[in-house]
Amino acid sequence: MTTDNSAPVSGSIMVVGGGISGLTTALEAAEVGYEVFLVEKEASLGGRVSQLKHYFPKLCPPTCGLEINYRRIKDNKNIKVFTMSEVQKVEGNPGDYTVTLKTAPRYVNENCTACGECAKVCETEISNEFNFGMDRRKAAYLPHNMAFPQRYIMDTAMGTDDRDRVIEACKYDAIDFDMEEKNIDLKVGAIVWNTGWQPYDATKIDNLGFGRYQNIVTNMMLERMASINGPTDGKIIRPSDDKAPATIAFAQCAGSRDENHLPYCSYICCMASLKHATYLREQYPEAKIYIYYIDLRTPGLKYEKFYANLKQDENIFFIKGKVAEVSEESGTGNINLVAEDTITGEKVRQTVDLLVLATGMQPAAAIDKPNADLNYNEEGFIMNDFSKGGMFAAGCANKPADVVTSNQNATGMALKAIQTLVRR
Amino acid sequence: MDKKYGVYICTGCGIGDTLDMEDLVEVPEEEGVNCTTHPFLCSKEGVELIQKDVDEGKVNAMVIGACSRRVNFDVFNFNGCIVERTNLREGVVWPHSREAYPALTEDQKDDEEHFDPIQMKAEDYIKMGMIRVEKVKLPEPFKTETFSRKILVLGGGVTGMSAALDAAKTGYEVTIVEKTDTLGGYAGKLRSQMPVVEPFESLQAPVVESLIQEVQGFSNIEVKTNCEVARIAGQPGEFTVTFKKPGEKIPFDVPFPLPEEMLMDENGKELDAEAAHAKYLEYNEGKNDILQLDPNGLLYGAVVLAAGWRPAVLEGEAYEHLGLNLDNVVTNDEFEMIAAKGKILRPSDGKEAKNVVFIQSPGKDEDDADFEYCGSVTSQVALKQAKYVREDYEDGKAYVIYQHMRTPGLQEYFYKSMQQDDGVFMTKGAVTEVAQQGDGIAVTATNTLLGENLAIKADMVVVAGGMVPVTKDDPVVNLAYRQGPGFRDNDIFGQYADSNYICFPYETQRTGIYAAGSIRRAMTIEESMEDATGAALKAIQCIESSNRGMAVHPRSGDMTYPDFFFQRCTQCKRCTVECPFGALDDDEKGTPNINPTRCRRCGTCMGACPERIITFSDYTIDSIGSQVKAIGVPSEDDYEEPPFRFLALVCENDAFPALDMVGMNRIDYSPNVRFIPVRCLGSVNVIWIKDALAQGMDGVILIGCKHGDDYQCHFMKGSELAEIRVKKIGDALSSLALEEERVAFTEIAIDEYDKLPEIINAFVEKVEDMGPNPFKGF
């Protein structure tokens, strides 16, 4: 007996956040047959992982999976993507929500062919936040070369002259500075919050000197430097003098496992720093790498294997101890650090060319809480209430996690959302 | 479909500025195909122009010469039409500029000295697009003869029950198969569970009882205890499953492949095919062949594999110093069983065990790795069990000696709360010896925090054994697949039934069968339950996709599937062997049987087939072969020094997007290369390479993704197979007195676009140094 061919559709699902976990929830639900509205506040989908060079432990580029996911979106009419959009408010009950979306003006309409003529003539430059401000970009820009949708955006920093120039350069009438913020209401049966995480603001960790000394960078900045589409075309260099670093230290738990900052473990930073050691080793075969840690959280077969491989490298040193103090060596820009080696009990003093802070993750909702009836823990993670249903948090909006775990979770939450619709 | 052709060329984004449009338009027009140009084809007006032709019945098979197919996909979407996107923008005019390749003057156009490589490339691409739309068909979705939406869950532990509940709550019928006589699995034997809610201070009562009750409350969940699967035959949407009592031998037990040692004769020589087959039959005597369908089998649509784990057996030299032979030295599993019975008592004499040492890492001072098959769960179990000691005895003391305390994420709060307990001592340390000392056990450790050596006298010692996936011992799923009864990739994951993809944690090589819980990674109960929900979704999604005749990930929605022209099949079995998904089962003669809903549409079978009898409706040997043949190969008859001509077959998921990025960045590379994106390099049939060389092309390069244990190919072995095939073709080339190096294979990841121009140019230069293909012009 062949059953009917129709998709089991009854109501729609909204997914808030278009990073890897949001993409996963949206696609998995849509491929069951449900209509999905995918809402992303940035101009491109991809989220945090689109800033990464490689995933651990496979050392494969996230763009590969993103490309597949974008292709899945292209091939699926069930998904409607809203970029530059944020949820303003959610009203209603499980199975019957009205969501008000606010869409910021892109100043570029669907006529854009991504030909890039606007960027050529635009003279205004703005800080490139995709690269954490390490370089500048034109105020007429594509978010990055793997951006999806592939459409330019105009920053309002452009003056009248520049605006005239870009409008003149665009042969397709795609630029429109009269665009305004738009609000729309959407009816959905369930909402999954995949709002992800932000790197913890390293300037708040006063003793670690970020922002005071140029050669102290965060792990995410290192990630951008290592990426070929980053500010240094893939070269990891010292910000102060663009020189190749010969000694690099990593300060683990920069903010994490710390009552004054993030009391929890951010899950990914140990593996991330080990991964960063592989980036450095590839570029600098002789560089000495020092990793200061409390515990190396590399559990399970795959992660232990990754760590075991790095232990073979005689120029990578693992020191159990937390970096407590930093200062700058005068004249050289080198970083002096002080840490306590908890095994020997001795104070370790070391001078390195570059210090990388393994900053942790803070849920986006800790900074900007959605206007919806959700439960949060003290740190801003959204706690799920399955008995209530209707709205769910997935990925790092729910708890600190690596990409695999986030995606498992994001897949499951697609089903929880579907259950809400089925139960109606 | 009665095809009506049309070609539409966009002149925007620099296309019209760079190319000679009059000449380009002549290409289709010479073939009698109408060609329309538009300055802004992706505009509303441009699309309307095409739509009008479609609506008027003038066109249903079209070539759109504009930007890459990776952009404006939603714009150039015409229902019921075959649409070929010819990449003139990212593929032609963006990487190759007029500064580098000046346009020809009218005089130069007619002489035999000058040629325009950019124009040539564009014209070739239009021709290649035109022949493709001629050769392909719109797909008709595949329908299985029977269809079931029921979900089979293997394993009645927390993972299995959670998956079943989540599927049942979504309205699906579920059967849980449990080997033992009760539901609950390992979690059913626990004293308590780790805390999962704030403030993470107290242990939780086991969740199993309430899960069992919930399962029993669902009329659409059937539970079969004392039961296992003898075999799972068929394909997603129509798996035919035979159940049996554990240990029973029945004719529908699945045949097992011969163990490797049995493939040799007494002298250690490999058996020939016939002898091996005879031995295989003998080895599986009494078992029906995989193709014989159990008439009493039950039909299921998809399977969740939640068969869990077993405690590790700690044996061998590496553990000798741990005193595992002593009565009062136990594994964490044994300790849990003691604790579940009541107060913690010593196995040796039943005395109260008030001082207990927990050892997390076996490596003396030489290595800081955890025990095999451990994960963060085993760190947390030690904390939990330390708490048992504290619960049972007011003056109890627990010592946890670890190398790395692994409590990631919010589980850190549990660790923190345990640190507050002054009866719990935790330290980093390397355990050097565990030995009997009078009535107690002496544990010594070095390199503890603050450099001190540690000696503890304890009543009991608990060693953190790992969680071994049951797939280490047994395939469990017992698939009636010619490729064998288990998952194929498990040996690269230490026998976990895991996915090799970070982005796609449920992607395995056996479509419709989704693993969850500790069978794929050491997980806590909470993590397992969460994973179960995801696996339930994937099972449901596979059922719904199969029912619509659509592929599941990664070619989600693809409605094509392989079609065989059996009259010409030589029963070589290559397709059956090479299919990454085991979609083909050959019969006793070696003729393949297709299971289209197992298929993920990579085309590896098409690449493997020496007779070239396998096709997909929109992707065939002929469709790509004809594109290759449409490439113009100028010879000395045309020019005094004709340009070389190269073919590049590129993976559409990695190399092709990378090439787009090269174009976007306006980086030039040899314009003499013609690129054809393929579904996977595994689908590349060597005939395309041979044809290219036979028509005088000078070289062929295959560009695919990285292979090896950390393979990035979403069809597992595509680029690896391509590399093997390229090596083999080398021999054939030398017999034709052609240099082997004219055919090359290279791997590239999607983000390595910066390397691509260099790779292409290096290949081109190398072949140019060899001189032109001697067959050119013949």
- CA angle centred on B673, ends B651 and B728, rounded to 5°: 60
Is residue A102's pLDDT more than 50? Answer: yes
Average pLDDT over residues B265-282: 87
Average pLDDT over residues B532-558: 97
Query: What sign does the dihedral B562-B564-B570-B573 (CA atoms) show?
Result: positive
Task: Provide, as residue numbers in chain B, all residues whose Cβ is less than 8 Å from the Cβ of A229.
Answer: 751
> Could you tell me if A234 lies within 8 Å of chain B, comparing CB atoms?
yes
Nearest CA distance, A331 vs chain B (angstrom): 35
Is residue B444's pLDDT more than 50? Answer: yes
Residues with Cβ within 8 Å of residue B288, at least 6 apart in sequence? B251, B252, B255, B294
Average pLDDT over residues B697-709: 94
Q: What is the pLDDT of residues B453-471, one digit of tens each?
A: 999 999 999 999 999 999 9
User: Which one of B45, B162, B503, B545 would you mutate to disrupt binding with A, by most A Cβ within 10 Å of its Cβ?
Assistant: B503
Q: What is the pLDDT of residues B727-757, one digit of tens each?
A: 999 888 887 889 999 999 999 999 999 999 9
Helices (H) and strands (E) in chain A, counts: 9, 23
Nearest CA in chain B to A271: B408
Is residue B178's pLDDT more than 70? Answer: yes
Q: Which residue, among A102, A100, A101, A95, has the nearest Cα to A12 in the 3D structure? A: A95
Instruction: Give me the residue from B377, B501, B664 closest to A145, CB to CB.
Output: B664
Please name every residue paired with B427 in a beta bridge, in sequence order, or none if there are none. B401
Angstrom distance (rounded) from CA B323 to CA B332? 14
Q: What is the pLDDT of residues B589-611, one digit of tens each?
A: 999 999 999 999 999 999 999 99
> Could you tell me if B428 lies within 8 Å of chain A, comparing CB atoms?
yes
Instruction: Give me the residue from B416, B538, B706 closest to A411, CB to CB.
Output: B538
B564 by DSSP, 3-state: which? strand
> Could you tell me if B144 lies within 8 Å of chain A, comparing CB atoms?
yes
Q: Which contacts (CB < 8 Å, 24+ apart) does range A104-108 have?
A: A104/A181, A105/A179, A105/A180, A105/A181, A105/A182, A106/A43, A106/A151, A106/A153, A106/A154, A106/A179, A107/A153, A107/A154, A107/A156, A107/A175, A107/A176, A107/A177, A107/A179, A108/A151, A108/A152, A108/A153, A108/A154, A108/A174, A108/A175, A108/A176
Residue B361 near residue B368 (C-beta atoms within 8 A): yes
Q: How much is the pLDDT for B86?
A: 98
Q: What is the pLDDT of residues B658-675, one digit of tens each?
A: 999 999 999 999 999 999
The total of other beta-carbon atoms located within 10 Å of residue B152's CB is: 29
Instruction: Give me the residue from A63, A116, A320 closest to B750, CB to CB.
Output: A63
What residues 190-209 of chain A have any CB closer than 8 A to a CB of chain B?
none
> Could you tell me if B147 lies within 8 Å of chain A, comparing CB atoms?
yes
Angstrom distance (rounded) from CA B646 to CA B743? 10
Q: How much is the pLDDT for A2?
A: 34
> Could you tell me if A72 lies within 8 Å of chain B, comparing CB atoms?
yes
What residues 341-360 of chain A have any CB closer than 8 A to a CB of chain B?
342-345
Q: How much is the pLDDT for B339?
A: 98
**Residue B773 C-beta-side C-alpha neighbours within 13 Å:** 30
Residue A323 near residue A337 (C-beta atoms within 8 A): yes
For residue B333, what are its two tokens? 């599993």
Which amino acid is residue B507, in one-letter code? E
Which amino acid is residue B92, in one-letter code? V
Q: Which residue, among B173, B294, B305, has the nearest Cα to B234 in the 3D structure? A: B294
In the block, residue with structure tokens 């670093």: A245
Task: Provide, as residue numbers in chain A, all residues whose Cβ is less than 8 Å from the Cβ of B753.
Answer: 228
> Could you tell me if A261 lies within 8 Å of chain B, comparing CB atoms?
no
What residues 119-158 of chain A have any CB closer than 8 A to a CB of chain B?
145-146, 150
Q: At what angle do helices B21-30 and B117-135 cross, to 10 degrees?
A: 30
Residue B240 near residue B297 (C-beta atoms within 8 A): yes
Is residue A3's pLDDT more than 80? Answer: no
> Could you tell me if A298 lies within 8 Å of chain B, comparing CB atoms?
yes
Q: What is the pLDDT of residues B221-244, one digit of tens each?
A: 999 999 999 999 999 999 999 999
Angstrom distance (rounded) from CA A43 to CA A82? 9
Is residue B273's pLDDT more than 90? Answer: no
ipTM: 0.96
- Please indicate whether residue B712 or residue A188 has the higher confidence score (pLDDT): A188
Instruction: Give me the residue from A146, A264, A404 closest to B412, CB to CB.
Output: A264
Residue B141: asked if its preceding bond is cis (omega within 30°), the reply is no
Residue B76 near residue B89 (C-beta atoms within 8 A): no
Q: How much is the pLDDT for B616?
A: 98
Residues with Cβ within 8 Å of residue A248, at least 6 apart in sequence? A280, A287, A288, A289, A290, A352, A353, A354, A355, A356
- Please indicate whether residue B41 or residue B272 has the higher confidence score (pLDDT): B41
Average pLDDT over residues B109-137: 96
Is residue A8's pLDDT more than 50? Answer: no
Angstrom distance (rounded) from CA B84 to CA B257? 44
Task: Provide, as residue numbers in chain B, all residues whose Cβ is less than 8 Å from the Cβ of A69.
Answer: 503
> Could you tell me if A295 lies within 8 Å of chain B, comparing CB atoms?
yes
Rounded to the nearest 5°, which phi and psi values hold at A200?
-60, 135
If you ran DSSP here, which 8-state letter would residue B93 be given? I
For residue A167, what are its two tokens? 């409008």
State which H helix or E strand residue B51 sits in. Answer: helix B44-55
Q: Which residue, among A13, A10, A77, A72, has the nearest Cα to A45 in the 3D structure? A: A72
Least confident window among A262-266, A277-281, A309-313, B490-494: B490-494
State which H helix or E strand residue A300 sits in. Answer: helix A300-311
Q: What is the pLDDT of residues A200-236, one digit of tens each?
A: 999 999 999 999 999 999 999 999 999 999 999 999 9
The whole-angstrom distance between residue A265's C-alpha and the CA centroid of its chain comes to 17
Q: Which residue, among B495, B515, B513, B496, has the nearest Cα to B505 in the 3D structure? A: B515
Q: Which residue, among B234, B151, B260, B144, has the nearest Cα to B510 in the 3D structure? A: B234
Which amino acid is residue B699, in one-letter code? G
Size of interface A-B (CB pairs under 8 A): 258
Task: Provide, as residue numbers in chain A, all residues whose Cβ is less than 8 Å from the Cβ of B657.
Answer: 63, 67, 146
Q: How much is the pLDDT for B257?
A: 87
Q: How much is the pLDDT for B260?
A: 83
Quick one: pLDDT band at residue B341, thresholds 50, 70, 90?
very high
Average pLDDT over residues B57-69: 97
User: 0.95 exceeded by the pTM?
Assistant: yes
In the block, residue with structure tokens 């949001």: A22
- The verdict on a CB contact (< 8 Å) between B503 and A68 is yes
Average pLDDT over all residues of chain B: 95
Instruction: Give me the residue from B40, B169, B405 closest to A295, CB to CB.
Output: B405
Nearest CA distance, A351 vs chain B (angstrom): 23
Instruction: Give me the residue from A32, A307, A403 closest to B503, CB to CB.
Output: A403
Q: How much is the pLDDT for A424?
A: 55
Average pLDDT over residues A238-257: 97
> Could you tell me if A213 lies within 8 Å of chain B, comparing CB atoms?
no
- Please indicate whether residue B363 or residue B644 has the higher confidence score (pLDDT): B644
Is residue A5's pLDDT more than 50? Answer: no
- The verdict on a CB contact (< 8 Å) between B536 and A415 is yes
User: Which one of B556, B600, B602 would you mutate to disrupt binding with A, by most A Cβ within 10 Å of its Cβ?
Assistant: B556
What residues 168-207 of chain B have any CB closer than 8 A to a CB of chain A?
169-171, 198
Q: How much is the pLDDT for B777?
A: 74
**Residue A155 C-beta-side C-alpha neighbours within 13 Å:** 20
Nearest CA in chain B to A418: B170
Which amino acid is residue B405, in one-letter code? M
For residue A136, what are its two tokens? 């500048």
Nearest CA distance, B712 vs chain A (angstrom): 7
Least confident window among A277-286, B25-34, B637-646, B731-740: B731-740
B479 vs A7, A350, B173, B203, CA distance in Å? 29, 58, 21, 40
The whole-angstrom distance between residue B321's C-alpha and the CA centroid of its chain comes to 41
Q: Which residue, among A406, A360, A381, A399, has the nearest Cα to A268 in the 3D structure? A: A360
Average pLDDT over residues A361-378: 95
Residue A161 near residue A138 (C-beta atoms within 8 A): no
> Could you tell me if A2 lies within 8 Å of chain B, comparing CB atoms?
yes
Q: Which residue, among A5, A17, A3, has the nearest Cα to A86 in the 3D structure? A: A17
In the block, residue with structure tokens 């738990």: A253
Residue A382 near residue A398 (C-beta atoms within 8 A): yes
Q: How much is the pLDDT for A1?
A: 32
> Could you tell me if B532 lies within 8 Å of chain A, comparing CB atoms?
yes
Pairing of strands A182-188, A96-103: antiparallel
